[in-house]
Amino acid sequence: MIKILIGLGFVLFDFNISLNSSVIGIFPDLIGYLLIFWAAMQFSEKIERFSTLKIWSLISALFSAAVYVLNIIGLPLHRTISFSLEIIGILLELIVIRTIINCISDIEKYFDCKLGSLALSRCYTLVIVSDILVMSSRYIEYISLICLILHFIVSLVFLILFNRSRIRTESAFSTLRE
């Protein structure tokens, strides 16, 4: 589960360097999705929903790799295409996060315990809202900055909640091994 936590960190936080027409991601989503994929492979035999997570994280990794290459090359894309690629990337991110929450919910049912999936679901709603605010305010200078800060805070809270769930999940799995 630590791989999923680190992977989510890569996916939720985007830091880029722009060089002329090229954009280089310092923390590329691709790494995050691959970490999530590897973690899902470990758990897919125990909890079936992790198989779905494997598929979505692999699709997201392939999409992220393609976008990353396009950004490094600096291929001039029409504004509509660029915006569409960003929307697809956000949708894939949200699908992967929702699937992770569903995996935790399935673990709760399997072990009959509370791991915090309800709190994660509520925070997930805030992640969606903050993503929408960031995308819709991107050309309004000060509001865009406020929305980015809000998104950063919401993402950080989500990671903290996920870490709590991760710790509880690992203790649940360790009782299964005993």
Q: What is the pLDDT of residues 57-95, one digit of tens each?
A: 999 999 999 888 887 777 777 778 888 888 999 999 999
For 6, 63, 103, 131, 136, the CA distances from 87, given in Å and listed in that order, are: 23, 12, 24, 10, 11
Give the separation between CA 111 and CA 101, rounded to whole angstroms: 15
User: What DSSP state is assigned to residue 26?
Assistant: S
pLDDT in tens, 91-136: 999 999 999 999 999 989 888 889 999 999 999 999 999 999 988 8
Prediction pTM value: 0.86
Beta-carbon-side half-sphere exposure of residue 32 (alpha carbons within 13 Å): 23
Closest alpha carbon to 16 in 24, 5, 4, 7: 24
